[in-house]
Amino acid sequence: MKRLKKVCAAALSTAMTFAMTISAFADQTVIFHFENAKNWEDVGAWIYEGVSWDTCITDSYVKCNKADGTVKNLWPGAKCEDEENGWVKTSAIFSDEATGASMIFNNFVGDAEINNTTEEDDVEAIKASGIKTTETATKEQTKDIILNKRNAFKNGIPSEVWISYDGEKNKTTVSLTAPEDYKVVEKPDDNPEEEKTHDEGKTPEEEKAPDETGTSDEDTTGDEDTTGGEDTTDEFTVGDITGDGDIDMKDAAMLKRYLVGWDVTINTKAADVNGDDAVDMKDAAILKRYLAGWEVKLGK
Protein backbone atom coordinates (compact mmCIF):
# COMPACT_ATOMS: atom_id res chain seq x y z
CA MET A 1 0.00 0.00 0.00
CA LYS A 2 2.81 2.39 0.91
CA ARG A 3 4.59 1.56 -2.34
CA LEU A 4 1.38 2.29 -4.30
CA LYS A 5 1.06 5.67 -2.58
CA LYS A 6 4.67 6.49 -3.45
CA VAL A 7 4.10 5.53 -7.09
CA CYS A 8 0.96 7.67 -7.26
CA ALA A 9 2.73 10.61 -5.61
CA ALA A 10 5.64 10.34 -8.05
CA ALA A 11 3.25 10.20 -11.01
CA LEU A 12 1.32 13.22 -9.74
CA SER A 13 4.56 15.16 -9.22
CA THR A 14 5.70 14.36 -12.76
CA ALA A 15 2.36 15.43 -14.23
CA MET A 16 2.42 18.72 -12.31
CA THR A 17 5.99 19.42 -13.43
CA PHE A 18 5.05 18.69 -17.05
CA ALA A 19 2.00 20.96 -16.83
CA MET A 20 4.08 23.78 -15.34
CA THR A 21 6.64 23.37 -18.12
CA ILE A 22 3.94 23.65 -20.77
CA SER A 23 2.55 26.75 -19.02
CA ALA A 24 5.97 28.37 -18.76
CA PHE A 25 6.63 27.92 -22.46
CA ALA A 26 3.14 28.69 -23.74
CA ASP A 27 2.91 31.39 -26.40
CA GLN A 28 2.24 34.82 -24.94
CA THR A 29 1.39 37.93 -26.95
CA VAL A 30 3.08 41.05 -25.63
CA ILE A 31 2.00 44.57 -26.61
CA PHE A 32 4.84 47.08 -26.76
CA HIS A 33 4.05 50.80 -26.37
CA PHE A 34 6.81 53.13 -27.58
CA GLU A 35 7.01 56.88 -26.92
CA ASN A 36 7.50 58.55 -30.30
CA ALA A 37 9.42 61.46 -28.80
CA LYS A 38 11.03 62.46 -32.11
CA ASN A 39 7.66 62.58 -33.89
CA TRP A 40 8.67 60.19 -36.65
CA GLU A 41 6.03 60.09 -39.38
CA ASP A 42 6.05 56.29 -39.25
CA VAL A 43 7.68 54.06 -36.65
CA GLY A 44 9.19 50.64 -37.26
CA ALA A 45 10.04 48.04 -34.63
CA TRP A 46 12.84 45.57 -35.25
CA ILE A 47 12.86 42.61 -32.89
CA TYR A 48 14.81 39.37 -32.75
CA GLU A 49 15.94 36.47 -30.55
CA GLY A 50 13.18 34.01 -29.75
CA VAL A 51 10.12 36.01 -30.78
CA SER A 52 7.87 36.37 -33.80
CA TRP A 53 5.42 39.00 -35.03
CA ASP A 54 1.72 38.22 -34.76
CA THR A 55 0.84 40.90 -37.30
CA CYS A 56 0.74 39.74 -40.90
CA ILE A 57 -0.93 42.67 -42.69
CA THR A 58 0.68 43.82 -45.93
CA ASP A 59 2.27 47.02 -44.62
CA SER A 60 3.36 45.57 -41.26
CA TYR A 61 6.83 44.70 -42.46
CA VAL A 62 8.71 44.17 -45.70
CA LYS A 63 9.46 40.58 -46.72
CA CYS A 64 11.69 39.03 -49.32
CA ASN A 65 10.90 35.65 -50.84
CA LYS A 66 14.33 34.05 -51.12
CA ALA A 67 15.41 31.64 -53.86
CA ASP A 68 15.65 28.76 -51.37
CA GLY A 69 11.96 29.09 -50.49
CA THR A 70 12.44 30.89 -47.20
CA VAL A 71 10.95 34.28 -46.35
CA LYS A 72 13.20 36.95 -44.88
CA ASN A 73 11.85 39.81 -42.79
CA LEU A 74 13.68 43.02 -43.62
CA TRP A 75 14.62 46.23 -41.88
CA PRO A 76 12.94 48.48 -40.74
CA GLY A 77 10.75 45.76 -39.20
CA ALA A 78 7.08 45.88 -38.29
CA LYS A 79 5.18 49.12 -38.83
CA CYS A 80 3.74 50.32 -35.52
CA GLU A 81 0.18 51.50 -34.96
CA ASP A 82 -0.27 55.15 -34.03
CA GLU A 83 -2.05 55.49 -30.67
CA GLU A 84 -2.68 59.22 -31.35
CA ASN A 85 -1.28 60.25 -27.97
CA GLY A 86 2.40 60.58 -28.80
CA TRP A 87 2.88 56.81 -28.53
CA VAL A 88 2.80 53.92 -30.99
CA LYS A 89 2.34 50.22 -30.37
CA THR A 90 3.09 46.82 -31.85
CA SER A 91 2.93 43.26 -30.58
CA ALA A 92 4.94 40.06 -30.75
CA ILE A 93 4.57 36.46 -29.59
CA PHE A 94 7.05 35.13 -27.04
CA SER A 95 7.51 31.39 -26.90
CA ASP A 96 10.33 31.21 -24.34
CA GLU A 97 10.63 33.76 -21.55
CA ALA A 98 14.22 32.70 -20.82
CA THR A 99 15.38 33.73 -24.28
CA GLY A 100 14.68 37.43 -23.96
CA ALA A 101 14.90 39.75 -26.91
CA SER A 102 16.43 42.87 -28.37
CA MET A 103 14.35 45.63 -29.93
CA ILE A 104 15.19 48.69 -32.03
CA PHE A 105 12.56 51.30 -32.83
CA ASN A 106 13.21 53.44 -35.91
CA ASN A 107 11.75 55.95 -38.37
CA PHE A 108 10.69 53.23 -40.82
CA VAL A 109 13.24 53.91 -43.56
CA GLY A 110 14.53 50.92 -45.53
CA ASP A 111 17.94 50.28 -47.06
CA ALA A 112 18.37 51.24 -50.71
CA GLU A 113 21.85 49.73 -51.01
CA ILE A 114 23.42 46.36 -50.34
CA ASN A 115 25.12 46.08 -46.94
CA ASN A 116 26.19 43.41 -44.46
CA THR A 117 22.57 42.37 -43.78
CA THR A 118 20.87 43.29 -47.06
CA GLU A 119 21.33 41.50 -50.38
CA GLU A 120 20.34 42.56 -53.89
CA ASP A 121 16.93 40.85 -53.85
CA ASP A 122 16.27 42.34 -50.39
CA VAL A 123 16.86 45.84 -51.76
CA GLU A 124 14.51 45.13 -54.66
CA ALA A 125 11.80 43.99 -52.24
CA ILE A 126 12.26 47.10 -50.08
CA LYS A 127 11.95 49.44 -53.07
CA ALA A 128 8.93 47.55 -54.41
CA SER A 129 7.16 47.88 -51.06
CA GLY A 130 6.81 51.64 -51.50
CA ILE A 131 8.22 52.60 -48.09
CA LYS A 132 10.77 55.38 -47.72
CA THR A 133 14.37 54.35 -48.34
CA THR A 134 17.83 55.79 -47.81
CA GLU A 135 17.64 57.17 -51.37
CA THR A 136 15.46 60.01 -50.11
CA ALA A 137 15.58 59.82 -46.30
CA THR A 138 18.03 59.24 -43.46
CA LYS A 139 17.65 56.34 -41.05
CA GLU A 140 17.12 57.15 -37.38
CA GLN A 141 16.82 54.61 -34.59
CA THR A 142 17.05 53.91 -30.89
CA LYS A 143 19.89 51.98 -29.37
CA ASP A 144 19.34 48.27 -28.72
CA ILE A 145 16.67 47.76 -26.07
CA ILE A 146 17.47 44.58 -24.17
CA LEU A 147 14.48 42.74 -22.71
CA ASN A 148 15.28 40.08 -20.11
CA LYS A 149 14.54 38.95 -16.54
CA ARG A 150 16.10 42.12 -15.15
CA ASN A 151 13.38 44.32 -16.60
CA ALA A 152 10.49 43.22 -18.82
CA PHE A 153 10.55 39.51 -17.85
CA LYS A 154 11.31 39.73 -14.15
CA ASN A 155 7.86 38.41 -13.27
CA GLY A 156 7.41 36.14 -16.28
CA ILE A 157 6.08 37.17 -19.67
CA PRO A 158 4.02 40.38 -19.34
CA SER A 159 1.02 41.30 -21.46
CA GLU A 160 2.16 44.91 -21.99
CA VAL A 161 5.46 46.82 -21.90
CA TRP A 162 5.96 50.60 -22.07
CA ILE A 163 9.19 52.02 -23.49
CA SER A 164 9.77 55.72 -22.79
CA TYR A 165 12.20 57.46 -25.12
CA ASP A 166 14.42 60.51 -24.65
CA GLY A 167 15.17 61.45 -28.24
CA GLU A 168 17.88 64.00 -27.39
CA LYS A 169 19.92 61.55 -25.33
CA ASN A 170 18.79 58.51 -27.35
CA LYS A 171 17.91 56.81 -24.07
CA THR A 172 15.06 54.37 -23.45
CA THR A 173 13.41 53.25 -20.21
CA VAL A 174 11.47 49.98 -19.94
CA SER A 175 8.45 49.80 -17.62
CA LEU A 176 5.74 47.24 -16.87
CA THR A 177 3.26 49.96 -15.92
CA ALA A 178 2.01 52.89 -17.96
CA PRO A 179 3.94 56.15 -17.33
CA GLU A 180 2.00 59.15 -16.03
CA ASP A 181 2.20 60.92 -19.39
CA TYR A 182 0.68 57.95 -21.23
CA LYS A 183 -3.00 58.67 -21.91
CA VAL A 184 -5.36 56.34 -23.75
CA VAL A 185 -7.19 58.05 -26.61
CA GLU A 186 -10.73 56.84 -27.20
CA LYS A 187 -11.22 55.30 -30.63
CA PRO A 188 -14.16 56.13 -32.94
CA ASP A 189 -17.42 54.52 -31.87
CA ASP A 190 -18.46 51.58 -34.03
CA ASN A 191 -22.05 52.87 -33.79
CA PRO A 192 -21.98 56.33 -35.39
CA GLU A 193 -25.74 56.72 -35.13
CA GLU A 194 -25.40 56.77 -31.34
CA GLU A 195 -23.08 59.79 -31.53
CA LYS A 196 -25.78 62.00 -33.07
CA THR A 197 -26.69 64.85 -30.71
CA HIS A 198 -30.32 65.81 -30.26
CA ASP A 199 -31.62 69.04 -31.81
CA GLU A 200 -32.12 71.71 -29.18
CA GLY A 201 -35.72 71.84 -28.02
CA LYS A 202 -36.63 68.39 -29.38
CA THR A 203 -37.03 65.09 -27.59
CA PRO A 204 -35.58 61.93 -29.15
CA GLU A 205 -39.14 60.85 -30.02
CA GLU A 206 -39.83 64.16 -31.80
CA GLU A 207 -36.64 63.84 -33.80
CA LYS A 208 -37.74 60.44 -35.07
CA ALA A 209 -41.21 61.68 -36.04
CA PRO A 210 -41.70 62.67 -39.74
CA ASP A 211 -41.88 66.41 -40.45
CA GLU A 212 -44.40 68.07 -42.74
CA THR A 213 -42.51 66.96 -45.84
CA GLY A 214 -42.68 63.35 -44.74
CA THR A 215 -38.97 63.11 -43.93
CA SER A 216 -37.40 62.33 -40.60
CA ASP A 217 -34.66 64.07 -38.61
CA GLU A 218 -33.20 60.71 -37.70
CA ASP A 219 -29.91 59.95 -39.46
CA THR A 220 -30.15 56.41 -40.81
CA THR A 221 -26.83 56.51 -42.66
CA GLY A 222 -24.79 53.42 -41.88
CA ASP A 223 -27.65 51.13 -40.77
CA GLU A 224 -26.81 47.45 -41.14
CA ASP A 225 -29.70 46.85 -43.55
CA THR A 226 -28.08 48.86 -46.35
CA THR A 227 -27.70 47.13 -49.68
CA GLY A 228 -23.92 47.41 -49.60
CA GLY A 229 -21.57 48.48 -52.37
CA GLU A 230 -20.27 51.74 -53.77
CA ASP A 231 -21.95 55.07 -54.36
CA THR A 232 -20.23 56.88 -57.25
CA THR A 233 -22.19 60.13 -57.05
CA ASP A 234 -20.21 62.92 -58.73
CA GLU A 235 -21.18 65.55 -56.15
CA PHE A 236 -19.26 64.83 -52.96
CA THR A 237 -16.88 66.27 -50.37
CA VAL A 238 -13.70 64.32 -49.70
CA GLY A 239 -13.96 62.89 -46.18
CA ASP A 240 -17.75 63.19 -45.96
CA ILE A 241 -18.26 59.47 -46.34
CA THR A 242 -21.79 59.39 -44.91
CA GLY A 243 -22.86 62.24 -47.19
CA ASP A 244 -24.49 64.24 -44.38
CA GLY A 245 -22.53 67.42 -45.09
CA ASP A 246 -20.12 67.05 -42.16
CA ILE A 247 -16.73 65.40 -41.71
CA ASP A 248 -16.80 63.82 -38.28
CA MET A 249 -16.46 60.62 -36.29
CA LYS A 250 -19.45 59.12 -38.09
CA ASP A 251 -17.44 59.15 -41.30
CA ALA A 252 -14.48 57.45 -39.61
CA ALA A 253 -16.74 54.75 -38.17
CA MET A 254 -18.50 54.22 -41.52
CA LEU A 255 -15.17 53.85 -43.32
CA LYS A 256 -14.04 51.33 -40.71
CA ARG A 257 -17.19 49.27 -41.26
CA TYR A 258 -16.63 49.29 -45.01
CA LEU A 259 -12.99 48.20 -44.70
CA VAL A 260 -13.75 45.26 -42.41
CA GLY A 261 -16.44 43.97 -44.77
CA TRP A 262 -19.73 45.23 -43.36
CA ASP A 263 -22.64 45.43 -45.81
CA VAL A 264 -22.67 49.22 -46.09
CA THR A 265 -22.73 51.59 -49.05
CA ILE A 266 -20.24 54.46 -49.19
CA ASN A 267 -19.13 57.01 -51.74
CA THR A 268 -15.70 55.63 -52.56
CA LYS A 269 -14.65 58.93 -54.13
CA ALA A 270 -15.28 60.70 -50.84
CA ALA A 271 -13.55 57.90 -48.92
CA ASP A 272 -10.34 58.12 -50.99
CA VAL A 273 -8.96 60.83 -48.70
CA ASN A 274 -5.33 60.43 -49.80
CA GLY A 275 -6.20 60.60 -53.51
CA ASP A 276 -4.44 57.40 -54.61
CA ASP A 277 -7.58 55.97 -56.31
CA ALA A 278 -7.95 53.24 -53.68
CA VAL A 279 -9.92 52.96 -50.44
CA ASP A 280 -7.87 51.23 -47.77
CA MET A 281 -6.40 51.51 -44.27
CA LYS A 282 -4.22 54.43 -45.37
CA ASP A 283 -7.37 56.50 -45.91
CA ALA A 284 -8.67 55.48 -42.48
CA ALA A 285 -5.41 56.56 -40.84
CA ILE A 286 -5.36 59.95 -42.58
CA LEU A 287 -9.00 60.63 -41.72
CA LYS A 288 -8.35 59.81 -38.06
CA ARG A 289 -5.41 62.23 -38.02
CA TYR A 290 -7.55 64.93 -39.64
CA LEU A 291 -10.27 64.51 -37.02
CA ALA A 292 -7.64 64.58 -34.25
CA GLY A 293 -6.47 68.02 -35.42
CA TRP A 294 -3.37 67.08 -37.37
CA GLU A 295 -2.34 69.33 -40.26
CA VAL A 296 -3.24 66.95 -43.07
CA LYS A 297 -4.88 67.61 -46.41
CA LEU A 298 -7.82 65.55 -47.60
CA GLY A 299 -7.85 64.69 -51.29
CA LYS A 300 -5.28 65.20 -54.02
pLDDT of residue 187: 58
Which pLDDT band, with edges at 50, 70 and 90, does 93 fall under? confident
Please give the pLDDT value at position 195: 42
Q: What is the pLDDT of residue 139?
A: 95
183-230 per-position pLDDT tens digit: 887 655 545 444 444 344 444 444 444 444 444 444 434 443 333 455
Q: 282 falls in which pLDDT band (50, 70, 90)?
A: confident
The CA dihedral of 90, 91, 92, 94, to the nearest 10 degrees, is 140
- Convert 206-236 to b/e letters by CB count within 10 Å (16 or more is b): eeeeeeeeeeeeeeebbeeeeeeeeeeeeeb
- Provide long-range contacts, Cβ within 8 A and 24+ apart, for 4-12: none
Please, what are the domains in the chain? 27-175 (2.60.40), 192-291 (1.10.1330.10)
Name the amino acid, one letter, at 37. Answer: A
